[in-house]
Amino acid sequence: MGVDNVGELVSGARDRDPGSLEALLAAVWDDAFRIARAIVLDDSDAQDAAQDACAIVYATIPSLRSADAFPAWFYRIVVRCATQLAKRRARDSPGVEHVAGVPAGAADRIDLQRAIETLPLGIRIPLILHYFADLNTGDIANAMRIPSGTVRFRIMLARRRLRPLLEIRLPNQNVEEVPTHAG
């Protein structure tokens, strides 16, 4: 979370201070939207999922025991909302994939986007939470309700899929081989 005073805002929000609540949600909105979008692969669905997540935070933050627990708690809610929406969309449109718009830019951007977005959801989510949200495997396991070992294994699978991109970018360097661990 790219805001320094999140702890203060969380404390204020838990006490139902309207200003703190709005400031907190505004501060975490970007992360919520980005993570939701990486899961649902659609901007308007990401908006919906992020708003749902923020609404849940709005309604339930007084029950949060500690301000320190906010990031993991918040990401868990975002992941849950976005995953539910992604599954619903997949069910509503069987066989139809969300095709994300390709931003204008170099080919490697397209490769990067394609490489990440073609990862199965169960692999993409831990990758994003680990490298973008900076959650540890325990928090990711908690968010996804899977064992920690499974999280590590899936992150390893994601790295294996992304390795060719790194090899193109860094042709003279070797990418670390990660030992497998199935949880």
The binding site for another protein (CB under 8 A) comprises: 22, 25-26, 29-30, 33-35, 37-38, 43-44, 46-47, 50-52, 54-56, 58-59, 88, 91-92, 103, 109, 112-113, 116, 127-128, 131-132, 159, 162, 165-166, 170, 173-176, 178
In the complex, minimum distance from the CB of residue 113 to another protein, in angstroms, rounded to a whole number: 6
Q: Which is nearer to another protein, 4 or 176 (CB)?
A: 176
For residue 172, which phi and psi values (nearest 5 degrees)? -95, 5
User: What residue has token string 């990711």?
Assistant: 140
* Cα dihedral 63, 75, 181, 120 sign: positive
Q: Which is nearer to another protein, 23 or 72 (CB)?
A: 23
Residue 52 gets the label, from left (phi > 0), alpha (psi -120 to 50) or beta, of: alpha
In the complex, minimum distance from the CB of residue 143 to another protein, in angstroms, rounded to a whole number: 16
Q: Which is nearer to another protein, 6 or 46 (CB)?
A: 46
Q: Which is nearer to another protein, 44 or 63 (CB)?
A: 44
Q: Which is nearer to another protein, 91 or 145 (CB)?
A: 91
Query: What burial class does residue 91 get, using C-beta atoms within 10 Å of its C-beta: 0-12 exposed, 13-18 middle, 19+ buried?
Result: exposed
In the complex, minimum distance from the CB of residue 40 to another protein, in angstroms, rounded to a whole number: 12
Could you tell me if 133 and 31 are in contact, meaning their C-beta atoms sit under 8 angstroms apart? Answer: yes
d(CA 88, CA 19): 34
In the complex, minimum distance from the CB of residue 55 to another protein, in angstroms, rounded to a whole number: 4
For residue 173, which phi and psi values (nearest 5 degrees)? -120, 150
